[in-house]
Amino acid sequence: MDVALFDYPLPPERIAQYPAEQRDAARLLVCDRAAGRWEDRAFAELPDLLRPGDVLVVNDSRVIPARLLGRLEPEGRPVELLFLKALDPLRWEALARPAKRCRPGAVVVFGDGEVRVRVAAVAGEGRRIVELQGGGSVREVLERYGVPPLPPYITRHQKPGQEDWERYQTVYAARDGSVAAPTAGLHFTPALLDRLRARGIAVETLTLHVGPGTFRPIRSPRVEAHRMEAEEVEISAAAADAINGAKGKGRRIVAVGTTTCRALESAADEQGRVRPMSGPTGLFIYPGHRFKVIDALLTNFHLPRSSLLLLVCAFAGREFVLDAYRHAVEAGYRFYSYGDAMLIQ
């Protein structure tokens, strides 16, 4: 399958640079797969657009301030490290930019020079194993000096604003581990969640820690050649039981975001029962995938040629999705992480 089939034109001004003034003030494109049509609504209307008895499943992973902006010692040239995964409290795998400056043995300093990180080894394309020198832990350093890891299409990603500390995080984020936000969840407020529950819509949580590979465009010309980077998933026995019980009663499972969808589909057996899960998933969902768990998907608008867009096309059909995207562009919807959303059911 040619990845060019999942391209579309997007004027730069359609890329949201800031979140909506209020989380639930985003627009919502409601797509009916069976009828092949859509309508323009508001995200705040979501409780009225779902059905009593639906189960909304959200990803409660919390974005860590994973980006550190430092300089090489002794020449002082700028270097960025995006901390991806802890190997132990002092050693992490990190994405280095520019990577060619970060050879084994190089030392990067942060702040006033009191924090020093040594490059210990090369760990793959652009990746390094780095070691914190001195006292404390990497997590303590990130909390003190790190900044929210905004995606590069947000022009201030090198210097996030104060609002990004709050808004590039869901209101139900609970478990540290993501280096990118599960963006479909950014539109929820506590009051909106209360309205959903009052309407008889259950809310269940799971965890998928989002890595940097999730949002990267697919570089191989053939879709089938792409490989997803593994991401850690945690689904409790209680959540699995609640989801399975609801499906057994004919209630719909609504995944909030592609990360939630991937977690559920990764944990499902051939009969569509969700098993408790604790471990990595490298599941790549693209057209031809047989969905076993989810009945509806709430998601933002995604980059061309991305694994996220392919997942949405797998769920709703490529031509239908790209037609809906064309409408969204013409109707002035805001795209990507801080943009508007789609409800596909």
| Mean pLDDT, all residues of the chain | 95
Model pLDDT for residues 34-67, shown as the tens digit of each residue = 999 999 999 999 999 999 999 999 999 999 999 9
Q: CB atoms < 10 A from the CB of 93, how many? A: 17
Class of domain 67-145: mainly beta
pLDDT of residue 18: 96
Lowest mean pLDDT: which of 61-70, 87-96, 211-220?
A: 211-220
Residue type, 280: P
Confidence of residue 302 (pLDDT cuts 50, 70, 90): very high
- The candidate with the shortest Cα–Cα distance to 290, out of 321, 268, 263, 320, is 268
pLDDT of residue 331: 98
Instruction: Point out which residues pair with 69 in neighbouring strands.
Output: 80
Positions of E strands within the chain:
27-32, 37-42, 55-59, 61-63, 67-73, 78-86, 91-97, 107-110, 115-124, 127-133, 175-178, 202-208, 231-235, 253-256, 277-281, 296-300, 341-344
Confidence of residue 214 (pLDDT cuts 50, 70, 90): confident
pLDDT of residue 267: 98
- pLDDT mean over 67-96: 92
pLDDT of residue 176: 95
Confidence of residue 228 (pLDDT cuts 50, 70, 90): very high
Confidence of residue 217 (pLDDT cuts 50, 70, 90): confident
Model pLDDT for residues 251-285, shown as the tens digit of each residue = 999 999 999 999 999 999 999 999 999 999 999 99
pLDDT at 212 over 90: no
Model pLDDT for residues 147-190, shown as the tens digit of each residue = 999 999 999 998 899 999 999 999 999 999 999 999 999 999 99
Confidence of residue 328 (pLDDT cuts 50, 70, 90): very high
- Tell me which DSSP letter residue 114 carries: T
- pLDDT mean over 83-93: 93
Beta carbons of 60 and 173 less than 8 angstroms apart: yes
Residue ranges of the domains in the chain? 3-63+165-344, 67-145
- How far, in Å, CA of 154 to CA of 151, rounded? 6
Instruction: Point out which residues pair with 91 in neighbouring strands.
Output: 131
Higher confidence at residue 144 or residue 38? Answer: 38
Confidence of residue 105 (pLDDT cuts 50, 70, 90): very high
- pLDDT mean over 187-213: 96
- Determine whether domain 3-63+165-344 maps to CATH 3.40.50.300: no
Say what percent of the chain tops pLDDT 90.
90
- How far, in Å, CA of 63 to CA of 82, rounded? 12
Tokens 């579309």 map to which residue?
8
For residue 28, give both structure tokens: 């919502």
